[in-house]
Amino acid sequence: MRQVFVFLIGCGLSFSALAQQPPAATPKKDPFAGFGNTGLDGGRGGLSTGGLSRRTSPPPNSPPTPNLPQTPSIGTTIAPEPGATGIALASDWTGHTTQGSGGQTMKMADLLALIANYGKAEADLAVHPDITIYEGQVIGGAPGEKCRITYLMPLDRAEATLMKSKGLSTSSRAVAPGLPDGLFLHTYDIRAGIYNRLCIVTDSRKPVQQVVSLIFKAEGANWYPPSPPFVKIKRDWHTFDYVNTENRGQSGIQIDTRVKDMRQRGGYIIVNTTGGNAPDTILEPGTVLKPARFSPKEDTTWYVPVPLVKLMLYCLGQSLGAQGGPSSTLAR
């Protein structure tokens, strides 16, 4: 009986000790899970400079998606889209970049500094079916459901491939300095991780326009992607959206610009611009912060295929007299 009494006292003490411990934290849903190829899907962030940091945890493993398209190596022979004849631009497609004065000149100088090391100036109007623009999560799709958008893919096919539900969109002519004339912007409201806006850049081919580039925008957040593989480019930047022609309003505002080089794997680069100034090295999967005061309160992630880089460098060379290389005075 004494042994039973001692045993019960021991159990009571154990339960009492457990009751005094704080309850285990309830795991929260990863706010960025299910939207990929920008580094938002796993690991822990590493930025330590102020602000409200939202760190993420690795997403659960998901089964491989059947028939997932693979990015081909550059140089692989791939058949172009049926009826594709190359990019369709205005007859004088370098014409609208000649207004190089004031803010236009600063934007073009920024663009030159950004892309000078990722291509050569060339009037490349060819099809390039092997070039990738975007490879990642389907917007509104199941976790692990991915897609690949290629250079000059027809717009209607790209919309159906990239988005489960397209919704309403607006269309306007692209007039940003440095872009070849004859491009159009198609803007969509989306829900994809931190991003709430998608812009698809197309050419002017009829009856169906062809995709030239993609831009994801997150309003009300600054995202600093993992670096490496992103590389920070240091400069007193004026521009934080090169397609929608958005630039800072005051000289004291800082813009963080980083590039992920995907030319060997898919023939494109990923440019991330956001407000603030973060360290060169950012741990996976990058860090999302509440925008600081006097900082652009958004993030722009721009997928830029190499043929577009060549065309932009060619336009910049025509309008500014630059050679499209890092030695240009405008690139400094």
Quick one: pLDDT at residue 106?
85
Contacts 24+ apart (CB under 8 A), 197-204: 198/139, 198/163, 199/243, 199/244, 200/155, 200/158, 200/159, 201/174, 201/243, 202/155, 203/87, 203/88, 203/89, 203/152, 204/88, 204/89, 204/90
- d(CA 316, CA 322) in angstroms, rounded, equals 6
- d(CA 239, CA 248) in angstroms, rounded, equals 6
**Residue 279: is its pLDDT beyond 80?**
yes
Quick one: pLDDT at residue 68?
32
Quick one: pLDDT at residue 83?
59
What is the mean predicted confidence (pLDDT) over 303-319?
93
Give 182's contacts (C-beta < 8 A, 6+ positions apart). 88, 89, 90, 93, 203, 204
**Residue 134: is its pLDDT beyond 90?**
yes
In tens, the pLDDT along 69-93 reads 344 455 544 555 665 679 999 988 8
- The model's confidence at residue 318, banded by pLDDT at 50, 70 and 90, is confident
**54 or 318: whose pLDDT is higher?**
318
In tens, the pLDDT along 245-267 reads 887 767 778 899 999 999 999 99
- The model's confidence at residue 197, banded by pLDDT at 50, 70 and 90, is very high
**Residue 177: is its pLDDT beyond 60?**
yes
What is the mean predicted confidence (pLDDT) over 29-35?
43
**Residue 162: is its pLDDT beyond 90?**
yes
If one counts every other C-beta atom within 10 angstroms of the C-beta of residue 74, the result is 15
- The model's confidence at residue 11, banded by pLDDT at 50, 70 and 90, is very low
Mean pLDDT, the chain, integer: 76
- d(CA 316, CA 109) in angstroms, rounded, equals 9
Quick one: pLDDT at residue 84?
61
Contact (Cβ atoms closer than 8 angstroms) between residue 230 and residue 261: no
> Token pair of 187, please?
């803007």
What is the mean predicted confidence (pLDDT) over 295-309?
92
15-29, 102-116, 144-158: segment of lowest average pLDDT = 15-29
Largest Cα separation within the chain, whole Å, is 101
**159 or 22: whose pLDDT is higher?**
159
Quick one: pLDDT at residue 325?
43
- d(CA 104, CA 256) in angstroms, rounded, equals 20
> Token pair of 172, please?
């306007």
In tens, the pLDDT along 198-256 reads 999 999 999 999 999 999 999 988 999 999 999 999 999 999 899 998 877 677 788 99
270 SS3 class = strand
Quick one: pLDDT at residue 277?
85
